[in-house]
Structure 1
Amino acid sequence: MVCTNAFSSLLTRTLARAATAHSTSSASHVLPARALSTINLNAFKNTTSRSGLRSSLTRVAAQQSTFSVRSTAMMVKARFQSTAATTAASTTSSASAATTAASTAVAKAAPEIVVKPIVGYWMLSLSAMTFGIVVVGGMTRLTESGLSIVEWNLIKGMKPPRSQAEWDEEFEKYKQYPEYKILNHGMTLEEFKRIFYYEWSHRMLGRAIGAAFILPGLYFAARGMLSKSIARRSWFIGGLIGFQGVLGWYMVQSGLDDQLMNTPGATPRVSPYRLAAHLGSAFLIYAGALMTGMKVLTDYSISKGAYESLATAINNPALKRFKGAAHGVVALVFMTAISGAFVAGLDAGLVYNEFPLMGGRLMPPVQELFDDKFVHEGDHPKIGLWRNMFDNQVTVQFNHRVLATTTFTAVSSLLLYSRRLPLPPHIRLGVNVLMGVACCQVGLGIATLLYMVPVSLGTAHQAGSLTLLTSALYLMHSLKKVPILKKIRLR
């Protein structure tokens, strides 16, 4: 009995030490102190043999292990329930906050502003007038009429001469400048009247475009009929129109310089650089007004559900490369037109009047392309190279041929590429029209060159360049992603 009591005391102390050591090694397996009190020590009271003690000890160990597992499971369960409750509360709180934020955003979101179609028609009218002034400007250049009016007066210049005295006075002013002295010496008054009216018509169209922009623009702005984006576009176009008027007179001044009289072999003409800038500015005005007008009308149609069935096809990611190619074609058309301005400014269409060869070769001799006579004294060699690119008639015509051929090839490639894509009918029609206009423009260009730039063909060729740009811009606009307008507010 004494042995049994001693063994029981020893076992109790041993289990206590084990529980303490176990609690320090792993918090997830802590055995509470009260577990020791649950061990049935009475099992040892009547045990005297070693086998009995071993059997009793086994039962006690099993009892302890079972309690430890149960205790650990209960603690893990409690911790899991606590964590789950915390997570659920956090998730509920986050979801509630997100819902509140979304509701607030929806409540504060401004509706899509769709401008009324009349603004779009206004912009398209401006683009049509710009088309007209570009054509008249081409005729003015081809008839060498651009230097016939030697003064610039915004108001007084609106009234042409009426009496004989007024015509004589205007003609005498013209006689003081290099064009009359070098090219038109001996011109009659009737011949002067013809070139005068070309330039006067060109300037009057410019004034009309300015008035057609300012008066409706002020009305639409005062009535709040322009959205912020359309207003920004409109004022940018208006700024270009004003700049174009100043640039036009700056261009004319370059042809009135008396220094031309002291330059052997000089031909009185406006600077080709200023002419190219003047034409480029006109093209930008035209493109800006056209794209703005189409945007206004398209957005209005979308708000009425007109493009709902086409939205999926137009927004197809497979058209991404095709859209990029269409943008590239627009850039090529613009660059080719600007190079044509240098051809017109230098009368470069009067050399090598054959196609596709130039003097029996695909490319003229290098000595002609890079002539040293265009290198000014003190120029860096690279500057001399660039002067040939813009001042040499042969090089300028060759550049225009290369750009025109590149543009035609790009349009043809775009047509072939479009055959592989699921394009909506109106976009496919736009590609076909672009190809047709490109063919006509190439034909006009070749005919203009072969017939040594008659006024009729030269004017048609310039109009063709704008028509080609129009086709390319329409295609680019048609490929724009269709927005989903859920809330509409008309301006």
Structure 2
Amino acid sequence: MTSFLRSDRSKPVAIWLFVVAALVLAMIVVGGATRLTDSGLSITEWRPVTGAVPPLGEAHWQAEFAKYRQIPQYAQINAGMSLEQFKFIYWWEWGHRFLGRLLGLVFAAPFAVFAIRRQIPRRLFPRLGGIFVLGALQGAVGWWMVASGLVDRVSVAPERLTVHLGLAFALLGLLLWTAFDAWAGAARQTLPSPWGRRAAWLIGLIYLQVLLGALVAGNDAGLVYNDWPMMNGHLVPDDYWAGSLWGTIAHSQGAVQLHHRIVGYGLALAAVALGVGAWRSSYLSREAKILGLAAAGGVLAQAALGIATLMAVSPLGLSIAHQLLAAIVLSLAVAFGWRVRRV
């Protein structure tokens, strides 16, 4: 048994954290599918414990369906929906919530075991505490997001969706960085280098692009302006201004899509410059060079997939792939950022 008194690394702890990160990735994908199938409002109550059990009989299904029929989404969009159609969207949302509960269990139970056996390096405890707080906050934010669509709207508020997705991506990045640290131990040597800052800028740009993509998704802005590189024949969409600064930033379909495009162009250029620079650097290890190129290639692939998804009017399969690749690209950038800080 490895004690944190004798070692600052633990491969079992690292593997556990990689598994938790994989579950977060699955949550991101399932959450995207839940939104794309308009399933997120099918469960109108937040029951953290009893909600883990789905409806078990006809009476329970009818009761859940009756609750759904009271919200604006049913009245304005799904009026006349059959019980079988309701079950389809209900299972998507229930699956998303169940995966969240499973994620909490997979984090908490092994943490307790590793802590009791003193296998967790002491220096990782603050970060693991941060991961726990982020995970708990994510559940609360998820309900806060859903609640925004139950009274006066037919979908969740785009800004709340953005916060929810942003927390998920932050959790993914923190889990990966901590897992790398658990696997390799504390850095034995670091040298002053601009590459740490460059990697941080790349991670930041990718994260910003994820947030802007969430606003596109929340406003269904991928269903409009489906030409490229123009927007209905114009550089700036006709409906860019929504009457106020916040309305434009968070709620204008034309504006959120234009912002997502512009940052995407900048991100692609920055990623190519970083990837080429990393490959030509005499300072970086071969592993870091490969990760830099992989991150740059991932950004370019994501840009191409985004354009294809837009021009195809955001079909389910391409939209899910676009969200999945965004998470993979962020993961590559985090791995690159972690690696360049070590000699």
**TM-score range, shorter-chain basis?**
over 0.9
Alignment-derived partner of residue 237 in structure 2? 364
Matches within 5 A, 1:152-171: 152-171=46-65
**Distance across 1 between alignment mates of 2:64 and 2:172:** 33
Q: Give the superposition deviation at 1:144.
A: 0.4
**Distance across 1 between alignment mates of 2:201 and 2:9:** 29
Matches within 5 A, 1:421-440: 421-422=281-282, 423-440=284-301
Q: Is the 8 A contact 2:158 2:215 kept in 1?
A: yes
**Distance across 2 between alignment mates of 1:415 and 1:436:** 8
Letter in structure 2 aligned against 1:323: G
Query: Highest Rg: 1 or 2?
Result: 1
Q: Give the superposition deviation at 1:169.
A: 1.5
Confirm whether residue 401 of structure 1 aligns to residue 261 of structure 2.
Answer: yes
Q: Give the superposition deviation at 1:350.
A: 1.2
Alignment-derived partner of residue 294 in structure 1? 180
Q: Is the 8 A contact 2:279 2:290 kept in 1?
A: no
**Distance across 2 between alignment mates of 1:472 and 1:458:** 21
**Distance across 2 between alignment mates of 1:201 and 1:404:** 32
TM-score (norm 2): 0.94
Q: Is the 8 A contact 2:215 2:256 kept in 1?
A: yes
CA deviations over 1:12-49 (Å, ceiling 9, x no partner): xxxxxxxxxxxxxxxxxxxxxxxxxxxxxxxxxxxxxx
**Distance across 2 between alignment mates of 1:173 and 1:189:** 12
Confirm whether residue 477 of structure 1 aligns to residue 338 of structure 2.
Answer: yes
Q: Is the 8 A contact 2:14 2:180 kept in 1?
A: yes
**Distance across 2 between alignment mates of 1:146 and 1:196:** 8
**Distance across 1 between alignment mates of 2:276 and 2:135:** 38
Alignment-derived partner of residue 224 in structure 1? 118
Letter in structure 2 aligned against 1:360: G
Matches within 5 A, 1:232-381: 232-257=126-151, 260=152, 268-299=154-185, 315=190, 317=192, 320-365=193-238, 368-372=239-243
**Distance across 1 between alignment mates of 2:254 and 2:112:** 48
CA deviations over 1:277-314 (Å, ceiling 9, x no partner): 111111111111111001111118x78xxxxxxx6xxx
SS in structure 2 of the partner of residue 456 of structure 1 = helix
Q: Is the 8 A contact 2:8 2:182 kept in 1?
A: yes
Aligned residues: 339
CA RMSD of aligned residues (A): 1.8
**Distance across 2 between alignment mates of 1:390 and 1:177:** 23
Tell me which of the two structures has the higher relative contact order, counting C-alpha pairs closer than 8 angstroms and 6 or more residues apart. 2
SS in structure 1 of the partner of residue 103 of structure 2 = helix
Q: Give the superposition deviation at 1:316.
A: 5.4
> 2:93 aligned to 199, 210, 213, which one?
199
Q: Give the superposition deviation at 1:111.
A: 7.8
Letter in structure 2 aligned against 1:173: K
**Distance across 2 between alignment mates of 1:353 and 1:243:** 35
- Runs of 4+ in structure 1 deviating by more than 3 angstroms, as ranges, are 110-113
Q: Give the superposition deviation at 1:123.
A: 0.9
Alignment-derived partner of residue 459 in structure 1? 320
- Select the structure that is richer in helix: 1
Letter in structure 1 aligned against 2:230: L
Alignment-derived partner of residue 185 in structure 1? 79
CA deviations over 1:375-401 (Å, ceiling 9, x no partner): xxxxxxxxx223211111110110011
CA deviations over 1:225-257 (Å, ceiling 9, x no partner): 223321111111011111111111111100001
Q: Give the superposition deviation at 1:275.
A: 0.6
**Distance across 1 between alignment mates of 2:140 and 2:219:** 22
Letter in structure 1 aligned against 2:316: V
SS in structure 2 of the partner of residue 363 of structure 1 = coil
TM-score (norm 1): 0.67
Letter in structure 2 aligned against 1:439: L
Matches within 5 A, 1:65-144: 113-144=7-38
Q: Percent identity?
A: 36
Q: Is the 8 A contact 2:279 2:292 kept in 1?
A: no
**Distance across 1 between alignment mates of 2:214 and 2:70:** 27
